């Protein structure tokens, strides 16, 4: 059984759907033709913050405020989690300080500020930003908001409920792994509904902590997570996520930076949707396994579309070998 129960997912769905009516899932003919299977895309790039994380933020902050939380909050992020928390705090009347690493996406930083977050820039990568956030929490009396928590999983798991309700007979669904809330939510929704869909986690080969953890049967950290797909740039896995993923996923696969970029271009050409790096990681995984998926009904999670304009244009301008 996943981290979130059916009743917890349904309660979280009520919270989420009070703010926005969920997201669509479409079968795109050109994408299906490209891959030789029936491809269902879950469009989490269509949420009010352009990524799935808002679901977890709304659920967590609602519980925090209703349970009497009065402290200001602090968290660390590469962007989508921070947008989620800033938006939820503004909605429920809480204050949040958000720590991001140096060189973080300028447009994600601008969005977090616009959504009410107090931004602090510190550290070379997410892990250093998270450690600084913990130091600030102790020094300033702030409540440290984790980037992985059962309440966050319950919230983001609502997209799994929506997806499986619309397409209950998917053979396989490909999900990106950052810290793990998304795939844990999908596993929870599948198990709660009693389905047999295989869940495949996809990571960048440059940030392979969760693949290594899956193979080792325990958490394995890496020394770096140097990928342009910042939403999956994790080098220290969460033990609770590792346990749930190792118990509920079929396999974890890696994709290269060039494969991720090719998937971003495929999304644009075949659906005219913008996918950030992490959002395209699942499609990159399916493209890598297309031979095994021929004729099947397959799902991919387009987890977000928040990418800086200059980077996106440079990726679109590159050519695929099979174009």
pLDDT at 321: 62
More confident of the two residues 278 and 107: 278
**pLDDT of 270 above 90:** yes
**pLDDT above 50 for 264:** yes
Percentage of the residues of the chain whose pLDDT score is greater than 70 = 99
In the prediction, which pLDDT does 323 show?
A: 44
Residue 223 has a pLDDT of 84
Confidence of residue 317 (pLDDT cuts 50, 70, 90): very high
6-52+150-317 carries CATH number 3.40.50.1100? yes
Work out the pLDDT band at 211, boundaries 50, 70, 90.
Answer: very high
> Average pLDDT of 137-164?
95
Question: Is it the case that residue 154 has pLDDT exceeding 70?
Answer: yes
- Decide if 6-52+150-317 and 53-144 have a common fold: yes
Is the pLDDT score of 3 beyond 60? Answer: yes
Residue 81, pLDDT > 60, answer: yes
**Beta-bridge mates of residue 96:** 73
3-state secondary structure 107-119: HHHHHHHHCCCEE
Query: Could you tell me which residues are beta bridge partners of residue 255?
Result: 204
Q: What is the pLDDT of residues 237-248, one digit of tens each?
A: 999 999 999 999
Q: DSSP code of 50?
A: S
Smallest CA-to-CA distance from 229 within 201, 199, 205 is with 205
Residue 21: the pLDDT is 96
Task: Please spell the DSSP secondary structure of 245-290, one letter per residue.
Answer: HHHH-SEEEEE-HHHHHHHHHHHHHHH-----HHHHHHHHHHHHTG
3-class secondary structure per residue, 148-217? CCHHHHHHHHHHHHHHHHHCCCCCEEEEECCCCHHHHHHHHHHHHCCCCCEEEEEEECCCCHHHHHHHHC
Domain spans, the chain = 6-52+150-317, 53-144
| Domain 53-144 in CATH 1.10.630.10 | no
d(CA 104, CA 130): 14
The confidence score (pLDDT) of residue 1 equals 59
Q: Quick check: 199 and 286 in contact, CB under 8 A?
A: no
Over residues 76-80, mean pLDDT: 87
160/186 Cα distance (integer angstroms): 5
pTM of this structure:
0.93
Question: Which two three-digit tokens encode residue 167?
Answer: 């397409």
Residue 34: band (very low, low, confident or very high) from pLDDT cuts 50, 70, 90:
very high
pLDDT over 60 (residue 149): yes
Contacts of 147 (CB under 8 A, 6+ apart): 75, 76, 77, 81, 130, 179, 181
């Amino acid at each position: 059984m996943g981290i979130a129960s059916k009743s917890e997912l349904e309660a979280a769905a009520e919270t989420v759907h009070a703010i926005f009516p969920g997201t669509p899932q479409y079968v795109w003919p050109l994408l299906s033709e490209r891959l030789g299977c029936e491809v269902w895309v879950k469009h989490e790039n269509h949420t009010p913050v352009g990524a799935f994380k808002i679901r977890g933020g709304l659920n967590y902050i609602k519980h925090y405020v209703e349970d009497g939380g009065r402290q200001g909050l602090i968290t660390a992020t590469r962007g989508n989690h921070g947008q989620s928390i800033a938006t939820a705090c503004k909605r429920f009347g809480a204050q949040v300080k958000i720590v991001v690493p140096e060189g973080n996406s300028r447009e994600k930083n601008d969005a977090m500020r616009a959504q009410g977050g107090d931004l602090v820039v510190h550290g070379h990568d997410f892990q250093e930003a998270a450690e600084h956030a913990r130091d600030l929490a102790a020094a300033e009396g702030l409540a440290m908001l984790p980037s992985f928590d059962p309440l966050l999983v319950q919230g983001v798991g609502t997209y799994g409920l929506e997806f499986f309700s619309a397409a209950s007979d998917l053979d396989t669904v490909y999900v990106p792994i950052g810290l793990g809330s998304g795939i844990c939510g999908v596993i929870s929704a599948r198990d709660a509904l009693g389905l047999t869909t295989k869940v495949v986690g996809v990571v960048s080969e440059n940030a392979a902590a969760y693949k290594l953890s899956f193979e080792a049967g325990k958490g394995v950290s890496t020394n770096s997570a140097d990928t342009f797909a910042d939403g999956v740039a994790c080098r220290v896995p969460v033990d609770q996520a590792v346990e749930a993923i190792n118990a509920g996923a079929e396999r974890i696969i890696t994709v290269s930076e060039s494969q991720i970029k090719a998937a971003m271009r495929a999304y644009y050409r075949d659906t005219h949707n913008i996918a950030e790096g992490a959002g395209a990681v699942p499609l990159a995984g399916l493209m890598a396994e297309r031979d095994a998926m021929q004729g099947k009904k397959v799902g991919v999670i387009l987890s977000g579309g928040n990418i800086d304009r200059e980077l996106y244009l440079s990726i679109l301008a590159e050519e695929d070998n099979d174009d």
